[in-house]
């Protein structure tokens, strides 16, 4: 997250996301934190048919660390994704269904990639969806608007 967040306005999105997460916790709603992750050899990272090195190999040392501004709590559920969307190949749907959750509030970085892909998957799976637009960010304002 720090890698992608470095391109955004001083992590305002993460402060807003943290406030949203805290409000959810106060209401007794679970907070699910999703991040991209791979094994040390990047064996399950996306394979790209290009000459350039994949983004996984260009990540900074602190890429796996949750930004402090997010205010992650021990009670938060963690999901590690390996694709653009947070549902494919993860237990996210199981985590939601077992808790009787039918409405999701989405926010995060890479709005036009990760958030949008997750939103599309959520809709396909029949979840109600709210996107906290002011707690989202992308590499550019245009990318955020396009999503």
pLDDT digits (tens, 9 = 90+) for 33-91: 998 887 777 777 777 666 566 565 666 777 778 888 888 999 999 999 988 899 999 99
pLDDT score recorded for residue 46 = 72
Please answer whether residues 37 and 59 qualify as being in contact, where contact means their C-beta atoms are separated by less than 8 angstroms: no
CATH assignment of 2-146, among 3.30.420.10, 3.40.50.850, 3.40.1010.10, 3.40.640.10: 3.40.50.850
- Residues 146 and 41: their CA atoms lie apart, in Å, by 34
pLDDT digits (tens, 9 = 90+) for 93-140: 999 999 999 999 999 887 777 899 999 999 999 999 999 988 888 666
pLDDT digits (tens, 9 = 90+) for 21-37: 999 999 999 999 998 88
pTM of the model: 0.79
Give domain limits for the chain.
2-146
The per-residue pLDDT of the chain, averaged, comes to 82
Can you read off the two tokens belonging to residue 40? 């040390």
- Residues 45 and 43: their CA atoms lie apart, in Å, by 6
- Residues 4 and 138: their CA atoms lie apart, in Å, by 8
């Amino acid at each position: 997250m720090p890698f992608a967040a470095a391109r955004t306005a001083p992590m305002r999105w993460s402060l807003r996301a943290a406030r949203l997460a805290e409000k959810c916790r106060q209401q007794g709603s679970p907070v699910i934190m999703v991040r991209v992750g791979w094994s040390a050899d990047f064996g399950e990272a996306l394979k790209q048919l290009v000459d350039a090195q994949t983004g996984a190999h260009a990540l900074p040392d602190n890429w796996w660390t949750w930004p402090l501004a997010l205010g992650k709590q021990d009670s938060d559920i963690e999901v590690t994704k390996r694709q653009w969307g947070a549902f494919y190949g993860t237990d996210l749907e199981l985590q939601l269904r077992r808790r009787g959750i039918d409405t999701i509030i989405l926010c995060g970085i890479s709005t036009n990639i990760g958030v949008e892909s997750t939103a599309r998957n959520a809709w396909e799976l029949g979840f109600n969806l709210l996107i906290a637009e002011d707690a989202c960010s992308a590499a550019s304002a245009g990318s955020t608007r396009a999503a």
